[in-house]
């Protein structure tokens, strides 16, 4: 898939989100944005088993989840457009946020920890159209700090990670912020590597990173 198409998908999701904002109906805007993400995944990734619904464990209920990717070879429990699925049958879970707050990302990190206690290989990530907090705050919690000398973010291995269970965050926010006198876009993609530290991707198109990650989740034989 060419970068041209990935760039188109970046723009498409943002345009769809802005169009949804025109309709002042708070109860459905979140669901509309979730549907945008589901549609892209369904259109671009072959044979992905994708749902919305509840994830449960032997003695726990992890509540409603925006996007659930079911493992291949497990039973489809969908009923009435929703699933109630065992955590061990999940290969991926995505939280979709219209305007993500740091507290919400922290809460999802805690949920991911509980899910991974049952299914360690489940990939748990966040997609946000807007970021309520500062980008440098979120990235510092994932081991990256802004360096004024290079006017960019660098990894800092001395930082204790606050988000250790989240596998990726895709932020499509094109607003800007200023740190140490330098202005930059809030857009980014960050993913956890095998060593537990995070790799940061700041060059568009961002859907390229996201779809590669999700294709590897849906098709485990594919390397992300």
pLDDT for the residue numbered 107: 97
Closest C-alpha to 165, from 108, 104, 89, 95: 108
Which residues, given as ranges, of the chain have pLDDT below 70? Answer: 1, 20-30, 223-224
How far apart are alpha carbons 102 and 137 in whole angstroms?
Answer: 8
For residues 121 and 92, is the Cβ–Cβ distance under 8 A? no
For residues 150 and 166, is the Cβ–Cβ distance under 8 A? no
For residues 55 and 87, is the Cβ–Cβ distance under 8 A? yes
How far apart are alpha carbons 192 and 142 in whole angstroms?
Answer: 9
pLDDT for the residue numbered 121: 95
How far apart are alpha carbons 182 and 143 in whole angstroms?
Answer: 20
**How does DSSP classify residue 88?**
G
For residues 115 and 87, is the Cβ–Cβ distance under 8 A? yes
For residues 104 and 146, is the Cβ–Cβ distance under 8 A? no
For residues 105 and 138, is the Cβ–Cβ distance under 8 A? yes
| pTM recorded for the entire structure | 0.94
pLDDT for the residue numbered 224: 65
pLDDT for the residue numbered 61: 92
pLDDT for the residue numbered 29: 53
pLDDT for the residue numbered 16: 82
- pLDDT (tens digit per residue) in 37-87: 999 999 999 999 999 999 999 988 999 999 999 999 999 999 988 999 999
pLDDT for the residue numbered 222: 72
User: Environment class of residue 23 by beta-carbon count within 10 Å: exposed (0-12), middle (13-18) or buried (19+)?
Assistant: exposed
* Alpha carbon 154 to its chain's center: 21
């Amino acid at each position: 898939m060419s970068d041209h198409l990935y760039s188109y998908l970046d723009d498409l999701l943002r345009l769809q989100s802005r169009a949804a904002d025109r309709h002042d109906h708070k109860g459905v805007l979140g669901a509309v944005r979730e549907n945008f993400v589901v549609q892209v995944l369904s259109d671009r990734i072959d044979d992905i088993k994708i749902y919305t619904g509840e994830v449960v464990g032997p003695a726990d209920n992890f509540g409603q989840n925006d996007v659930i990717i079911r493992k291949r070879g497990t039973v489809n429990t969908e009923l009435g457009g929703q699933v109630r699925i065992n955590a061990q049958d999940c290969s991926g879970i995505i939280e979709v946020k219209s305007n993500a707050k740091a507290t919400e990302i922290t809460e999802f990190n805690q949920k991911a920890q509980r899910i991974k206690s049952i299914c360690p290989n489940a990939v748990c990530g966040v997609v946000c159209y807007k970021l309520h907090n500062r980008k440098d705050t979120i990235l510092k919690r994932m081991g990256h700090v802004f360096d004024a000398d290079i006017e960019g973010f660098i990894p800092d291995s001395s930082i204790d990670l606050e988000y250790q269970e989240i596998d990726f965050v895709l932020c499509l926010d094109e607003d800007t912020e200023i740190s140490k006198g330098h202005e930059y876009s809030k857009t980014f993609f960050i993913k956890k590597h095998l060593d537990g530290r995070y790799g940061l991707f700041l060059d568009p198109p961002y859907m390229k990173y996201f779809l590669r990650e999700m294709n590897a989740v849906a098709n485990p034989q594919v390397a992300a």
